[in-house]
């Protein structure tokens, strides 16, 4: 199954007992999906201004191949050679130097256009049946270790050296993210607000009219972030450290106010209970756990 810029395809048969199997047969479906949704073509338009002279490799196609490579577990640009080694699947893949040049030509204007292209492709995918049953935005920071002193790299809390980007996901889809140095602190409301804004821009208009839930661990628990969710009518569930004040508030609740907690699949979560406590001028506190298990 060969992928070219203007290729078309119908059904795809998946087998495990055929001859001449490729370890990248599943990866090629990502490239085909991007093409079918019009994402590859849209990326070509978004990056058209970066090509100073006509070349064999279209920048949009190169950008898409890099995304496929990253989804396949690639950690650096040179890993693109793995796709290049599967010409029967991916067609002609740009060389590593060419891919680097494409990335170096991408500025803030191109980044904005790429975001728009992603949003359009996602809307098409969700209309075709890929939309989640419920839009849940999960915010989390992910330390990434590197082995050289790159720009903004710094030591992070896990003892490594690198970056600490903050991303927002919806199921298995990465909606948005901001690159941060490794020593970026937790509870940075401005970072969470920026990622929330970018994530909402990625959602189809139909999803914005429905119920949206934002979730984060205690790193996202700030008045600014909770307030922004309220202003945009987004539900939120934020982790919160149990200090003495929170403990006193939980213990003061009536036992009848607690409800058995459930997991994401709707099944009961053994030994866990949930309640809501509201205080004036303060965000809603979501406390999960059995009150009897709290330390004295």
CATH number at 189 reads 3.30.420
Residue where a domain stops, chosen among 185, 205, 236: 236
How many residues are given for the chain?
296
Residue holding tokens 């006509």? 54
What percentage of the chain reaches a pLDDT higher than 90? 49
**Rounded percentage of the chain residues whose pLDDT exceeds 70:** 86
Q: Are residues 202 and 261 in the same domain?
A: no
Counted domains in the chain: 3
Is position 266 within any domain? Answer: yes
Looking at the fold, whether 244 and 232 belong to one and the same domain comes out as: no
Question: Are 231 and 136 in the same domain?
Answer: yes
On whether residue 4 sits in a domain, the answer given is no
Contacts of 94 (CB under 8 A, 6+ apart): 56, 57, 61, 62, 65, 80, 84, 102
* pLDDT for residue 28 is more than 70: yes
Q: Which of 236, 252, 278 is the last residue of a domain?
A: 236
Residues 150 and 73 occupy one common structural domain: no
Mean pLDDT of the 104-120 span: 94
- The residue that leads in pLDDT, 282 or 63, is 63
Angle at 173 between CA 170 and CA 178, to 5 degrees: 85
Residues 136 and 223 grouped into a single domain: yes
Q: Are 248 and 188 found together in one domain?
A: no
Look at residue 191 in the predicted model and tell me its pLDDT: 95
119: in domain:
no
125: part of which helix (H) or strand (E)?
A: helix 108-125
Task: Check whether 290 has a pLDDT greater than 90.
Answer: no
Same-domain status, 205 and 265: no
Looking at the fold, whether 226 and 248 belong to one and the same domain comes out as no
Residue 49 is predicted with a pLDDT of: 76
Q: Which of 129, 114, 137, 108 is nearest to 203 (CA)?
A: 137
- Residue 122: inside a domain, yes or no? no
Kindly report the backbone phi and psi dihedral angles of residue 162, in degrees, each rounded to the nearest multiple of 5, phi listed first. Answer: 160, -130
* Cα 45 from Cα 23, distance rounded (Å): 31
| DSSP 8-state symbol, 1 | -
The pLDDT score that the predictor gives to residue 52 is 58
CA distance 145 to 161: 5
Q: How confident is the model at residue 41, as a pLDDT? A: 93
pLDDT recorded at residue 19: 73
Q: Is the pLDDT of residue 201 over 50?
A: yes
> What's the pLDDT at 265?
80
| Same domain for 98 and 52 | yes
Q: Is the pLDDT of residue 280 over 50?
A: no
Residue 198 sits in the same domain as residue 248: no
Domain co-membership, 73 together with 152: no
| Residue 214: pLDDT over 90 | yes
Q: What is the pLDDT of residues 52-77, one digit of tens each?
A: 556 678 999 999 999 999 999 998 89
pTM here is 0.79
Residue 260 β-bridge partners: 273
In a domain, 15, yes or no: no
Residue 254's pLDDT band (cuts 50, 70, 90):
confident
Same domain, 140 and 202: yes
Q: What whole-number distance in Å separates Cα of residue 123 and Cα of residue 118? A: 9
Q: What is the rounded (10 degree) CA torsion for 252, 255, 256, 262? A: 110
Enumerate the β-bridge partners of residue 107: none
Last residue in a domain, options 111, 142, 158: 111
Q: Which domain holds residue 262?
A: 240-296
What's residue 25's pLDDT? 75
Residue 235: predicted pLDDT: 93
In-domain check, residue 121: no
């Amino acid at each position: 199954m060969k992928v070219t810029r203007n290729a078309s395809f119908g059904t795809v048969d998946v087998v495990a007992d055929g001859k001449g199997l490729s370890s990248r047969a599943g990866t090629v479906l990502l490239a085909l999906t991007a093409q079918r949704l019009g994402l590859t073509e849209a990326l070509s338009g978004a990056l058209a201004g970066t090509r100073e002279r006509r070349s064999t490799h279209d920048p949009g196609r190169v950008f898409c191949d890099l995304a496929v490579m990253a989804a396949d577990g690639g950690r650096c640009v040179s890993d693109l050679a793995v796709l290049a080694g599967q010409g029967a699947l991916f067609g002609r893949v740009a060389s590593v130097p060419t891919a680097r040049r494409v990335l170096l030509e991408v500025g803030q204007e191109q980044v904005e256009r790429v975001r728009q292209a992603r949003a359009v492709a996602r809307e098409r995918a969700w209309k075709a049946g890929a939309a989640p049953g419920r839009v849940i935005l999960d915010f989390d920071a992910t330390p990434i270790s590197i082995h050289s002193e790159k720009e903004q790299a710094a030591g992070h809390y896990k003892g490594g050296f690198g970056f600490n980007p903050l991303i927002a996901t919806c199921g298995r889809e990465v909606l948005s993210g901001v690159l941060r140095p490794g020593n970026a602190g937790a509870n940075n409301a401005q970072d969470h607000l920026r990622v929330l804004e970018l994530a909402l821009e990625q959602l189809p208009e139909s999803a914005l009219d429905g119920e949206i839930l934002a979730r984060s661990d205690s790193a996202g628990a700030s008045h600014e972030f909770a307030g922004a969710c309220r202003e945009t009518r987004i539900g939120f569930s934020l982790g919160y450290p149990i200090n003495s004040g929170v403990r006193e508030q939980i213990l003061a609740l009536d036992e009848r106010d607690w409800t058995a907690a459930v997991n994401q699949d709707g099944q009961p979560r053994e030994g866990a209970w949930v309640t809501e406590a509201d205080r004036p001028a303060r965000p809603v506190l979501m406390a999960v756990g059995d009150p009897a298990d709290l330390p004295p």
